[in-house]
Amino acid sequence: MNKSDTMKVLAVLEVSYPQHFKSLSQVQKNNMVNLWTKLFQHDNYKIVITAVEHHIMNDTKGFFPVIGAIREMMYQLNNLNEITEQEAWNIIRKAISNSYTVRESFEAMPPLVKRIVGSASQLGSWALMDLNTVNSVVSSNFQRSYKALAAKQKGIVKINPMLTTNNTKLLEVD
């Protein structure tokens, strides 16, 4: 997004949050334009304005959004198919329910789920374990790991929008 695009975004915000802009000096407004331009320089204008509009339509408090709120909205809008830790665990449970197809099941898993599992042989090991242990200890450990890694990747994507959650290089970040 360039400076001209940033000014369009801030113009929409000014119409929606006039009180915020009334208290700003011209220097502060220029600084705001420069900051938003810098922090959204790698983002597509349409994505940013969509996130801003979504924020405005859902704002019930009436406060000017911080940049982090717009970044969060952009992430949510771009990752509608992101699965929760429970949904990821359900993929695992289905995969280990038939120990004869764990290799194929492992290969078909989303990258983040595969990263947590580690290998098809790990799925096979879980398939041979006591069901109570799998449904309690293994499930809990997997979901905790999934949630932590998903949050870490979300933070990376929000900082560097050029990355995506489907990017395999992103999965290698520790």
Domain finish residue from 39, 54, 78: 78
Q: Which domain holds residue 31?
A: 3-78
User: pLDDT by residue for the chain (174 residues), tens digit each?
Assistant: 999 999 999 999 999 999 999 999 999 999 999 999 999 999 999 999 999 999 999 999 999 999 999 999 998 888 778 899 999 999 999 999 887 888 999 999 999 999 999 999 999 999 999 999 999 999 999 999 999 998 898 888 777 766 554 443 444 433
Domain finish residue from 27, 61, 78: 78
Please name the residue ranges forming H helices in the chain. Answer: 3-16, 18-22, 26-39, 45-58, 67-78, 85-96, 102-108, 111-117, 120-128, 131-133, 139-159, 168-171
| Separation of alpha carbons 122 and 118, rounded Å | 7
In this structure, what are the phi and psi dihedrals at residue 64, rounded to the nearest 5 degrees? -55, 135
Domain shared by 52 and 115, yes or no: no
Domain shared by 14 and 90, yes or no: no
Predicted pLDDT at 174: 35
Other CB atoms within 10 Å distance of the CB of residue 105: 21
Predicted pLDDT at 101: 87
| Separation of alpha carbons 51 and 47, rounded Å | 6
Domain shared by 53 and 93, yes or no: no
Domain shared by 70 and 95, yes or no: no
Number of domains in the chain: 2
Q: Of 48, 80, 67, which is closest to residue 164 (Cα–Cα)?
A: 80
Q: Which helix (H) or strand (E) holds 137?
A: none
Domain shared by 135 and 162, yes or no: yes
Predicted pLDDT at 163: 59
Task: Name residue 18's amino acid.
Answer: P
Using a cut of 0.95, tell me whether the model's pTM lies above it. Answer: no
Domain finish residue from 33, 63, 78: 78
Domain shared by 99 and 44, yes or no: no
Domain shared by 71 and 92, yes or no: no
